Amino acid sequence: MKFLRSRQFYIIGGSITAGILMIAFIVWISIHGYWPIARDIAIIALAIISAIPLLAVSYAVFQVSRTIAALRKALPSILADVKDTTKTVSDTVKATSDFTVKPTVRAAGFLVSAAQVISTLLGEGKAAKRRKRKPKFTAADTAQGQSNTMADITEEEMQQTSLKLPIVKGNVHHESFNG
């Protein structure tokens, strides 16, 4: 902080000194009649000062043109690398499809077809027969706890018989009508 305050002091002091010197210089020029010479010096100084931004812009244009030329040289090799990479990715996807996806789909299709053919030739399996033999529970059986799940009675059976079935929510039993 102390450094900044001392620096600020020098900036303000230098600005005031420069202002006083400029006023003294203008008074001196006016007393001795050197205005035509001062005017010529000011024009030359302004020309030199305005040439600096012109040189900077010229240098920037030169650098941009060099960059464009370098890009024009490098662009064909960059495009060739992009084409090469794209072809490699395309070949990789095709190989992956040919050696993994297609055989897997074929094998799965074959297994499903074979299962369907075997099922057709051999008839219903034990699970299907057991499902048909499964005893139907009534509402009274369910209420007495002979069936552990509501899955034993299909929704269609519940609608046909309009049974009054208990619905358990937490520890409280509610009565509900289906149908």
Question: Does residue 9 register a pLDDT over 60?
Answer: yes
Q: Are 147 and 138 in contact (CB under 8 A)?
A: no
Residues 17-64: tens digit of each pLDDT: 999 999 998 888 888 888 888 889 889 999 999 999 999 999 999 999
Q: Are 179 and 168 in contact (CB under 8 A)?
A: no
Say how many residues make up the chain: 179
Q: What is the pTM of this model?
A: 0.35
- Amino acid 19: pLDDT: 93
CA distance 16 to 35: 24
Query: Residue 176 pairs with which residues in a beta bridge?
Result: 165
Structure tokens at 155: 């929704």
Residues 138-164: tens digit of each pLDDT: 666 555 555 545 555 565 565 555 545
Query: Residue 25 pairs with which residues in a beta bridge?
Result: none
Residues 119-134: tens digit of each pLDDT: 777 776 666 666 666 6
Residues 105-120: tens digit of each pLDDT: 898 999 988 888 887 7
- Amino acid 97: pLDDT: 85
At residue 6 the predicted structure's pLDDT band, cuts being 50, 70 and 90, is: confident
Q: What phi, psi does 71 have (nearest 5°)?
A: -65, -40
Structure tokens at 149: 């799940």
CA gyration radius, the chain: 49
- Amino acid 102: pLDDT: 87
- Per domain, the residue ranges of the chain are 135-177
Residues 91-104: tens digit of each pLDDT: 999 888 888 888 88
Residues 6+ apart with CB under 8 A from 153: 136, 137, 142, 147, 163, 165
Question: Does residue 83 register a pLDDT over 90?
Answer: yes
